[in-house]
Amino acid sequence: MRNDTFIIAKDGLKCIAVTAALVIFMMIIDADLLTFVASVLFLLTLWVYRNPERVLPHVQEKSIVSVCDGTVKSIETSEDEEGNVRYNITVKSSFLDTSILRVPFACKVQESTVVSGARLSVTSPLAERLNEKSLVLFGTGEEQVVVLHTLHLASVGIKNYLQEDHEVLQGSRYGLMVKGETMIALPPESRVAIKVGQKVRAGETLIGYFS
């Protein structure tokens, strides 16, 4: 896993360089209005790829923090084949949310995959089936959290630097997703600590506990 602590996420440097070059070109051809538009785009790109430090909250043992920034879209329950109920928390991330992804709790990574695909809008009926996704299984048994990232309308694909069987620390960076939805599945015996409509911050917002 790559520990990128630079103030700007390195995965966004190419996009930032392109927008900076666009600003310079518009200045050279003396296009004032287009220079202004390009400058706004450059600043927006810097904001999208910001990489701030986050301070872990002082919470009790067995806490689970959010893996991404965004707004809680839904909290639903589902049953597995054995009849156990899981809590599925869906978080919607926009371009203005920090794109850095963070580990929900200290554990060993069991599975980490990225499946390339389309980048359709969430409103498209094909988005759920065709869009690029990343699946991560953190932990094992009764202390396992399943995370599924789905990309929407982004120029940069999902970045996931986790490796299977590696130990990770709560709140550490593991990847990037500029815009999309993240489903966080908590195990049956866990407790949910957030509500629909709440804003969450990766590595800082407590979303639940293992019982």
Secondary structure (3-state) at 205? coil
* Owner of token pair 């630079």: 6
With 90 as the cut, is the pLDDT of residue 65 above it?
Answer: yes
Whole-number Cα distances in Å, 18 to 25, 66, 113, 116:
11, 31, 29, 23
Phi, psi values for residue 111, rounded to 5°: -150, 140
How far is the C-alpha of 62 from the C-alpha of 106, rounded, in Å?
9
Q: What is the mean pLDDT of residues 31-59?
A: 90
pTM: 0.91
For residues 92-106, give the mean pLDDT: 95
Residue 51 to residue 49: CA distance in whole angstroms = 6
Residue 44 neighbours by CB distance under 10 Å: 13
In contact, 211 and 190? CB cutoff 8 Å: yes
pLDDT in tens, 4-14: 778 899 999 99
Residue 122 is given by DSSP the state T
58-79: average pLDDT: 90
User: What mean pLDDT do residues 122-132 have?
Assistant: 87
pLDDT at 124 over 90: no
Judged against a pLDDT cut of 80, whether residue 58 lies above it is answered with no
Nearest to 151 by CA among 174, 134, 126: 134
The pLDDT assigned to 55 comes to 83
Question: What single DSSP character describes residue 8?
Answer: B
The CA-CA-CA angle for residues 99, 170, 93, to 5°, reads: 25
Give the per-residue pLDDT at 154. 84
Burial 23-43 (b: 16+ CB within 10 A, else e): beebeeeeeeeebeebbebbe
